[in-house]
Amino acid sequence: MADMVTNTVGIMLFILIFVSLSAGGAVVSRHLPRERSTKAKAVWLFCSHGEIVPFDAAVLAEQLEKPLGVPSFYSASQWARNYSARRLETDQLEIAGDAKVEYDNDSGQAGATIVRNMLVRHRPNQRDDAAVKTPGPDFQTLLAERNKETEFLFFFVTPDSIPLFRAARDRATQAGFGVGWSPLGADEPARITLSGGGREATIQ
């Protein structure tokens, strides 16, 4: 029994030494902040390529859906396909629809729920500079125009703009705003669920 314990401890020490060497001797601490739900309205921001781009998800969603009309149970599948084919562009963003239909027969009556998502990508331009690490005057203006009592800021952050996000987060919290965020991959779109079983935006 003593030999088994000694061997187990030895293996654990070997693994620990190997991991430390693989990490270059650095100790990496992963800290995940606590989240709390909020009834405040989210102010959406895309933080990418050294730029912070605010956008109104409700307005963009209305623009995506307006040409499609109101779906019915019988047209739900076609409506979802049409919605998924929709594309919008602004000066700084690309927006796409993504939808699927979930059918429900448990209640004895046929029903359908269209789960709608909006995919948002940043459109970098020649002026963008990923080396930017502090927010510009436009962000300060946004803070001045928003209501910290009824709104909070939610950032989608790509890897090249994490220092910029941290600086913006610090300014926002100093101004009294709640802040939430979601990390994205380099080419990953922000996904905002508009209906049905979606992720709730939270303050961290």
Residues in the chain, pLDDT under 70:
1-38, 106-108, 125-131, 195-204
Same structural domain, 41 and 24: no
Per-residue pLDDT, 6: 43
Same structural domain, 132 and 187: yes
Per-residue pLDDT, 25: 34
Q: Domain range holding 10?
A: 1-30
Tally: H helices and E strands in the chain: 5, 8
Same structural domain, 44 and 67: yes
Same structural domain, 2 and 67: no
- What's the domain count of the chain? 2
Residue 176, domain member (yes or no): yes
Residue 148, domain member (yes or no): yes
**Strands of 93-104's sheet in order across:** 87-89, 93-104, 111-122, 190-193
Residue 201, domain member (yes or no): no
Residue 105, domain member (yes or no): no
Residue 107, domain member (yes or no): no
CA within 13 Å, CB half, 150: 3
Q: Encode pLDDT of 44-63 as tens digits.
A: 999 998 899 999 999 999 99
Same structural domain, 134 and 185: yes
